[in-house]
Structure 1
Amino acid sequence: MNTADTPTVRDAIIIGGSAAGLSAALMLGRARRRVLVIDAGFPRNRFADHMHGVLGNDGTSPADFVRAGRAEAAAYGVEFLDATVDSVTDNGATVTVTLTDGRELPTRALVVATGITDELPTIPGLAERWGTTVLHCPYCHGWEVRDRRLGVLATSPMALHQAKLVRQWSDHVTFFSAAAGELAPADEARLRARGVIVVTSPIAEVLGDGPQLTGVRTADGTLTPLDALFTAGAPRPHDTFLTGLVLARTDLPAGLGSFLTVDQAGATSHPRIWAAGNVINPMATVPMAVGAGALAGGAVNGALVEEDFDAAVGGC
């Protein structure tokens, strides 16, 4: 693995070395840009043993995916640094990335691909099964638990949609709706028409042996046998190191939180900063993050191309 410690002004620094960040790095490396990827080593999907729905990589482990992506980007001269970012400052012609150890790394462009943390409800037995039998995405994990006894734990009103989705993979679905609030009679009728059982008592405990899940106990003492439980954590974007720049933000619906505002190519309100992946879209799957990273990488190169020509004309 390459490392980088010198304060050379790079064409691009990418913060975050998972799907979106590596995709941006690959694009920029192939464009013959001087690129550094800074990665703290905690990708969102590290809790899962395998990825699914990723064309050409179905069943690949997240760790193997990252290793392969690093090797591909490194073949084009991309450098890697295992570190954590403390802050980013604006210097006009560059921005400077300051690491938690105090090192300062200037760059002409910055791509933020740091992802999110899924903040889970504080229910005993839930967090330790996250990514194995407590799941978030039916497109990523539904096939593996098809036709089994599935639960959906509401964490917001958006969970109604998740419960409808999960029903596609199994006839045996129980919706624990407490955090979704009182369901409209029409919504409850639609669920019941498809055989979804609605339980209004909150889940008090998730039960099972090791990573396996056998059921849940609700606050009224009822035990519901289950084989897997779908839920959604509150998404917390890893972008506090940008606070000093006061970038534009957008509040997502249903209380999902505040995220960086970007255009279709990932450009933020700062002319030298782009963002891609879950750090701007908590709903993005791995292939979506890969696409967003590639688009941001291409946009960064395009902006740098124009700047290079501007500098050449100005120097004539």
Structure 2
Amino acid sequence: MQHFDVAIIGGGPAGLTAAMTLSRSLRRVAVLDARRPPRNIFADEMHGIVGLDGVSPGEYRRRAWADLEKYGMAELHEVTGTDVTPDPEGGFTVTAEEGPPVWARQVLLATGMVDAHPKVEGFGECWGRTVIHCPFCLGWENRDRRWAVVTDDPEFAATAAAVFSAWSDDVIVLANGAMPPGERDGEIIDGEIRRLHHDGGDLRAIELADGTIIERQTMLWQLDQRPVPLISHLAEQLGLAVGRGGYVETDSSFRTNVSGLYATGDLITASQAVVESAAAGSGAAFQIIADARWPLRDVPSGLSR
């Protein structure tokens, strides 16, 4: 079994930034990143990252690993983490679906979340382009278009036109059949969304279940999310605290309620953006270093560096 100072489960912006901070602090790191496509694979470009604005998710990861390889402290394991088991003598054994387990002094969960895609024809083709989850991520690319905001929150619906007016002066609200009656303020269109009419992912119109066609060019649709299976497993087996919406609960220093186990990035908050995830990854790494059980010179038996 290979031994590491830290095992990071998840190789997105949060996990990779944590790996960089730890590498530059001379910690040996294993990054367990599943071979399946990343959550942001639907986006052609990533935005809001100074110096990297407009790069694709794949190029971002390629550049990140090129940087990490310069230090020789981080090792990529293209596997899916399935369990994290505390060692009675300290540290954790991290089990993977496709390969051998690894041992680490501390473990950082950076798995992100899983989007629950609706069963709407045309959604997949438009998602990440003209059906967006975040105006700060793709609002610029969709500026001066006719927007539809999907929400079941009456308070959010009442303010949507004003909130998104910087990007569009034509904003409507769709309840998608989910908003309670009698709790709405302003014009809200009812009806379940059945189909998105588009041209190669460029939204043209929204079709409701009753056949109504609404011409729109952009939709803001913040999807429901769920944690990856590992998180649900750890909640059951270790008592990992998971709060409303499936987000892992941590203190202000990214510590979970399980000693030596940390969480960061999209996994702990609904406020999700690449720069925020990267910052959270760095913050978690700093705390891991501060909480390290052993100084670097005091390496337990069997831990190679």
With the length of structure 1 as denominator, give the TM-score of the two structures.
0.85
Question: Which residue is 2:302 aligned to?
Answer: none
Distance in 1 between the 2:155 and 2:251 partners?
Answer: 25
Question: Which residue is 2:232 aligned to?
Answer: 240
Residues 58 and 181 from structure 1, CA distance in 2 versus in 1: closer, same or farther, beyond 3 angstroms? farther
Unaligned runs of 5+ in 2: 300-305
Question: Which residue is 1:80 aligned to?
Answer: 76
Question: Which residue is 1:207 aligned to?
Answer: 197
Distance in 2 between the 1:183 and 1:120 partners?
Answer: 28
Residues 289 and 136 from structure 1, CA distance in 2 versus in 1: closer, same or farther, beyond 3 angstroms? same
Distance in 2 between the 1:183 and 1:67 partners?
Answer: 51
- Map residues 50-199 of structure 1 onto 2, 5 A cutoff: 50-77=45-72, 78-92=74-88, 93-101=90-98, 103-154=100-151, 160=157, 164-177=162-175, 178-182=177-181, 184=183, 187-188=185-186, 198-199=188-189
Distance in 1 between the 2:189 and 2:132 partners?
Answer: 19
Question: Which residue is 1:193 aligned to?
Answer: none
3-state secondary structure, aligned to 1:229: strand
Q: Percent identity?
A: 34
Distance in 1 between the 2:17 and 2:182 partners?
Answer: 41
Distance in 2 between the 1:33 and 1:156 partners?
Answer: 45
Measured after TM superposition, the shift of residue 56 of structure 1 is: 2.1
Match of 1:273 among 254, 257, 261: 261
1:30-56 alpha-carbon deviations (Å, 9 max, x no partner)? 000111111014322111001112222
1:183-212 alpha-carbon deviations (Å, 9 max, x no partner)? 645x32xxxxxxxx5312222221123312
RMSD: 2.2
Match of 1:217 among 185, 204, 207: 207
State whether residues 14 and 38 of structure 1, in contact with CA within 8 Å, keep that contact through their aligned partners in structure 2.
yes
Measured after TM superposition, the shift of residue 241 of structure 1 is: 4.5
Measured after TM superposition, the shift of residue 124 of structure 1 is: 1.8
Residues 233 and 44 from structure 1, CA distance in 2 versus in 1: closer, same or farther, beyond 3 angstroms? same
Residues 183 and 120 from structure 1, CA distance in 2 versus in 1: closer, same or farther, beyond 3 angstroms? farther
Match of 2:289 among 279, 290, 301: 301
Distance in 2 between the 1:159 and 1:126 partners?
Answer: 23
Residues 162 and 52 from structure 1, CA distance in 2 versus in 1: closer, same or farther, beyond 3 angstroms? farther
Measured after TM superposition, the shift of residue 60 of structure 1 is: 1.5
3-state secondary structure, aligned to 1:88: strand
With the length of structure 2 as denominator, give the TM-score of the two structures.
0.88
Higher helix residue share: 1
Question: Which residue is 2:10 aligned to?
Answer: 16
Supply the AA of the counterpart residue of 2:238. L
1:256-277 alpha-carbon deviations (Å, 9 max, x no partner)? x122110122111111111111
3-state secondary structure, aligned to 1:26: helix
Measured after TM superposition, the shift of residue 67 of structure 1 is: 1.1
1:257-309 alpha-carbon deviations (Å, 9 max, x no partner)? 122110122111111111111111132200000000000011111111x5328
Distance in 2 between the 1:234 and 1:83 partners?
Answer: 26
State whether residues 15 and 21 of structure 1, in contact with CA within 8 Å, keep that contact through their aligned partners in structure 2.
yes
State whether residues 9 and 108 of structure 2, in contact with CA within 8 Å, keep that contact through their aligned partners in structure 1.
yes
